[in-house]
Amino acid sequence: MDKRLFWILILLLGFGLTVQAQVVDEDDEDEITVTDEDGTETEIELPEGMTVELDSLLSQYHAKHNLSINTNCNFPDVNPVYDTLVYIQRLRQLPTVMELAHNEVVQQFIDRYSGRLRRSVSIMLGAQNFYMPIFEQALESYGIPLELKYLPVIESALNPKAVSRVGATGLWQFMLATGKQYGLEVNSLVDERKDPIKSSYAAAHYLKDLYRIFGDWNLVIAAYNCGPENVNKAIHRSSGKTDYWEIYPYLPRETRGYVPAFIAANYIMNYYCEHNICPMTTNLPQKTDTIMLSRDVHFEQIAHVLNCDINQIRELNPQYRRDIVNGNTKPSVLKLPVNLINAFIDNEEDIYAYNAETLLTKRAVVAVNNDAPQYTSPRHSYAKGKGHAKGKKGRHTRGNRSVTVKKGQTLSQIAARNHTTVAKLKKLNGIKGNNIRAGKKIRVK
């Protein structure tokens, strides 16, 4: 045997390394099976961020325009498998405040990320360049351990527009009520759960509050997933134990996999090279800036006048649900590439005017058509025929109807109630001014 090959084999064995070909399983299975010491098998649900299809990740604007395959990466497409002690040691070496313990469940999630999900990991490694600085700044401002920046990896696979099967939305997967509780606006036009910056600060605030309740970061992220009530129930059912791994059997199925998945995400986002995973190359987009708008504007108006890609505007402003910045409601932020900010200011009136009658269709004032013949239902006509209609000079006779002015009423109110105008009332009754005496009868038709 060649001496160099002999020593390579010795080194590999010394590190407990064996190499197996990475097999890409296209099955969309969303569970893993864990076998305990007694041979009992338990199925654990994967967090939804681990079930996102590859095509969905690649369809994002920043993936299509700012990520590309790293042609300089020459890793073989195989997934090395190491001795258990290697995984334990690597997790211990991560500079974290949180306990990142290893066990069979954690290993199952590491294997999933390094095997079946390795191409998704490659995309997320590229996408993290857009989001991690935002996450770190938000977490730092609330004194939260920075390793929690990997929470959106398992929550949303770093997709700001992700929506779960139960309606959790955005990078941090806020439910509607929780998002509003932490200051995120959600209405028909805006969903700030999709805003990377605002949702990150809301998430940091929420995590801080959960830590005040539980005082343990593993319990905090379990509560982030299933709610503090469910964690408290699990603590109660376990006779008051407050260790995540002690209350583990009493948690909802998905939450049982949540902490292990989080530990695995920390592992794979730091040790991807050891598993031959090449990060996508990131071409960071041009710098952006914001402008405050006090009028409604449609993305298509901006894209047309400034001759830019409407999808880029959507990518930079994911919180706007209908492509409309609702500046009429309150001053609202629009984010644009720096080179378009001055262009927007210089062409602002042209932008607001472009195709506004089609793109911004909400009318402020609507005229009522009083010229068309009044429709009378057959049932109403039948009732009149039975003697319920008044005579020619009666109160309800069309063309000669009067009302008595009540105290405080104005001509405008009377006109509105009787589907006519002030001008017609004045002409019909010979009224010259705008004042009218209570108790006076005036004709309305």
Sequence-distant (≥ 6) Cβ neighbours of residue 93 within 8 angstroms: none
pLDDT reported for residue 445? 81
pLDDT reported for residue 71? 86
pLDDT reported for residue 380? 55
pLDDT truncated to tens, each residue of the chain (445 aa)? 443 443 333 333 333 333 344 444 444 467 788 776 667 777 888 898 999 888 888 888 888 888 999 888 888 889 999 999 999 999 999 999 999 999 999 999 999 999 999 999 999 999 999 999 999 999 999 999 999 999 999 999 999 999 999 999 999 999 999 999 999 999 999 999 999 999 999 999 999 999 999 999 999 999 999 999 999 999 999 999 999 999 999 999 889 999 999 999 999 999 999 999 999 998 877 789 999 999 999 999 999 999 999 999 999 999 999 999 999 999 999 999 999 999 999 999 999 999 998 999 877 788 887 776 666 666 655 545 554 444 444 444 445 788 888 877 888 788 878 888 888 888 888 887 777 888 888 888 8
- Alpha-carbon distance of 274 to 370, in angstroms, equals 78
pLDDT reported for residue 4? 41
pLDDT reported for residue 8? 37
Sequence-distant (≥ 6) Cβ neighbours of residue 58 within 8 angstroms: 64, 123
pLDDT reported for residue 25? 42
- Alpha-carbon distance of 334 to 302, in angstroms, equals 11
Q: Which residue has the tokens 């001509």?
A: 411
pLDDT reported for residue 394? 44
DSSP track, 137-202: HHHHHTT--GGGGGHHHHHHTT-TT-B-TT--BTTTTB-HHHHHHTT--BSSSBBGGG-HHHHHHH
Residue 158 · residue 124 · CB < 8 Å? yes
The secondary structure of 251-274, three-state, reads CCHHHHCHHHHHHHHHHHHHCCHH
Question: Exactly one of 45, 48, 147, 155 is catalytic; which is it?
Answer: 155
Does 155 qualify as catalytic in the annotation? yes
pLDDT reported for residue 56? 85
pTM: 0.76
Angle, helices 196-214 vs 228-237, to 10°: value is: 30
Q: Which residue from 264, 218, 258, 283 is spatially nearest to 121, judged by alpha carbons? A: 264
Residue 210 · residue 224 · CB < 8 Å? yes
Angle, helices 228-237 vs 217-226, to 10°: value is: 120
- Alpha-carbon distance of 125 to 52, in angstroms, equals 15
